[in-house]
Structure 1
Amino acid sequence: MRIFGINFSPQNDPLKRRLELLTVTVYYTMLFLMIVIGYFAKYILAIYCIIYTNIPRYFVLLYIVWMYYDNSMYNVTGKRAQLREWFRTCIVHRYLCNYFPIKLVKTTDLDPNKLYLLCSFPHGVLCTGICGAFGTDVAGYRELFPHIECRIVILDRHFNTPIFREYCRITCSASSSPESMNLLLSTKPEAPYTGRVTILIVGGAAEAAESKPGTYRILIKRRKGFIRLALKNGVPIVPVCSFGETNLFDQLTFTEGSFMKKLQNYIRKKIGVPPVYLIGRGFSQYCMSFIPHRTPVTVVVGSPMDLPKIEEPTEEQINEYHEKFVEHLVNFFEKEKHKYVENADSVHLEFV
């Protein structure tokens, strides 16, 4: 339905689609609020509560102490581990993944007794495909990769953000710190798992600013730390592509050298996350808001590229295997894109 040039969603949508839309709206609203409030207001709110309130100040102080002692950025046990298992299959995630929908596809079997480093592209705005495919069981992860534990690497700053850190702890997340990454890539998981995949979005948050519908712009030319980690631990690298990830949002972009672009880069360097000016859909219209568009996202897992174990890899060795992986990634993308991308012949990976 179109009124005054604005496309409104149909009023006779079935209940299932309405519940999916409601779930996505609430989820993204909470996510944005937790990140924004956590990053920009945590110190102000904490200082205000401690100085100007009576009872709340004690809760704030207790929470600060809790954050200090509960500082594991990788492993969770006990009740929280049980909560994580329930969280992977809860109905919220089912509605969330079915909204797009999110699908997980493997092109080859992975050895359930090995450790792997999965390098995912592109980041998109919010890594929706990766979180849905690996952070939940809705897309069939347990059936496709039995006995393999998964960990999605996120900014270590997320684990220092009040409230949001609790969400990170009950998901399959791990810190991007070198200590956490080396631990993930060098140690076997606890039973009942026999192997592990560590999912790293190589482009990181900086790649979010490059996300535009119909394009696959990735930051990899200067990103070589993942090669060093893989060589040091002797783990295979597996390319992963989220086809359709960049179609969930459009955004306002700014030319290099402009004031807004400099401001965007400055904020990203300070807090780790660039401010993006999203153009999504609304709850009842399709024109403009922060809700992602209902477009399919297919997360495809490629074949492993084996690497030798080199305790102290040289720059020449890192560059050599980096070039090999980029070639492996391009071949994988060109082979799979025709199944999931419209006008695939005109779409290629763009390196920035």
Structure 2
Amino acid sequence: MEILGVKFAPLNVPLERRLQTLAVAIHFIVLPLWTVWGYPITVYLIFYTETLRYFLLLYFLWMYYDWDTCHSGGRSEMWTRVARNNALLRYFCNYYPLKLVKTVDLDPKKSYLFVSEPHGIWSSGILGSFGSDVLNCKKLFPGLEIHPITLDILFKIPILREYSYSLGACASSLKSIKYLLSTPPKNPYTGRITVLVVGGAAEMMESMPGTYRVLIKRRKGFVKLALKYGTALVPVLSFGETDLFNQIYSPEGSTFRRIQNYIRSFIGLPPVVISGRGFFQYSFGLISKRLPVTVVVGSPIEMPKIEDPTSEEINKYHNEFIEHLIKFFNTQKHNYIKNADNVTLELL
């Protein structure tokens, strides 16, 4: 039904689909709002509640004790197993739906750095594929411990930090990634996958439907780390990720882009003006569109172990990875993109 140009959802939408929409709304509205209001709310509860304040004070002591866990491998599976299979994540993955595809088997005794592109607005594909066990990532890659990398700031916000930990996530700091690439996993795992969205939050500003713009030309730190620890690089593409939201796009050099970059330098995230859909209508809102997202894992590029790689060596293997990524994109795009001949991987 459409009224004044707004397309409304029918009244007889099944409960299952309503719950899926709710799960996605929680991830894209409630959790981001908590990043802003987390500390003010907890401070208010400490000063203006009678009993809850004491539990919160104990919780802050726990935060102080637990502060560095996000830089040293995150939570063990004993703490994440149940959370990564919860109903909220199942509804989230089934909403689009999300799909995880591997193209080759990986050696369970090795360490891998998954280099994922594009970021999109909220990296829904990576969250569902590697931040949960709903899509059976641990069965697709047996023997490999999996840790997605996310913003460091998410581990500093009360309550929200526990959710990030429950997904098996670790911080996007140099210390954290070095730890994951250099430290062997605990039993029963024999190898490890570290999932890094190289474009990071800055790539949010490049996300537009039908485009695949990735910030990788000047991002060479991941290659340097891969060489330092002899870690294989694996390209990962999230097809459909950039179609989930419309965005008011501002090119590099524009006034709004400068404002976005300035704010991102302080809080880690750029302010983006986006539109997806709402709870009861499909025309606008802050919930992502119900469109399929397929995360495809490519074949690894083996890296030699070079303790202190030179700029020439870093550039050489960076160029090799980019060539591999472009070839992988062109090989796979016809399976997941409409009018694929008109879509290219834009490297920025």
Match of 2:273 among 272, 277, 284: 277
Partner of 2:340: 344
| Counterparts of 1:120 and 1:314, CA distance in 2 | 25
Give runs of aligned pairs for residues 165-176 of structure 1, distance below 5 A: 165-176=161-172
Partner of 1:27: 27
Deviation at 1:55, TM superposition (A): 6.0
Give runs of aligned pairs for residues 1-352 of structure 1, distance below 5 A: 1-38=1-38, 42=39, 58-71=54-67, 72-73=69-70, 74-76=72-74, 81-352=77-348
Identity %: 53
SS of residue paired to 2:105: coil
| Counterparts of 1:81 and 1:240, CA distance in 2 | 24
SS of residue paired to 1:189: coil
| Counterparts of 1:261 and 1:198, CA distance in 2 | 30
| Counterparts of 1:154 and 1:76, CA distance in 2 | 11
| Counterparts of 2:87 and 2:232, CA distance in 1 | 34
Q: Give the alignment's Cα RMSD to 1 decimal.
A: 1.9
> What is the count of residue pairs matched by the alignment?
346
Structure 1 spans left out of the alignment, 5+ residues? none
Structure 2 spans left out of the alignment, 5+ residues? none
| Counterparts of 1:50 and 1:134, CA distance in 2 | 35
Q: Which amino acid aligns with 1:313?
A: P
TM-score normalised over the length of structure 2 = 0.94
Q: CA offsets, 1:65-106, max 9 Å, x none?
A: 2221112114456xx743410111122211110100000001
Distance 1:180 1:76, change over 3 A: closer
Q: CA offsets, 1:130-187, max 9 Å, x none?
A: 1101111221212211121100011222211222111111111011222211111112
| Counterparts of 1:201 and 1:45, CA distance in 2 | 30
Deviation at 1:345, TM superposition (A): 0.5
SS of residue paired to 1:241: strand
SS of residue paired to 2:34: helix
Q: Which amino acid aligns with 2:112?
A: Y
Distance 1:13 1:331, change over 3 A: same
| Counterparts of 1:48 and 1:97, CA distance in 2 | 35
Q: Which amino acid aligns with 1:340?
A: Y
| Counterparts of 1:318 and 1:257, CA distance in 2 | 28
| Counterparts of 1:51 and 1:259, CA distance in 2 | 41
SS of residue paired to 2:329: helix
| Counterparts of 1:350 and 1:204, CA distance in 2 | 16
Confirm or deny: 8 A CA contact 2:74 2:169 kept in the other structure. Answer: no
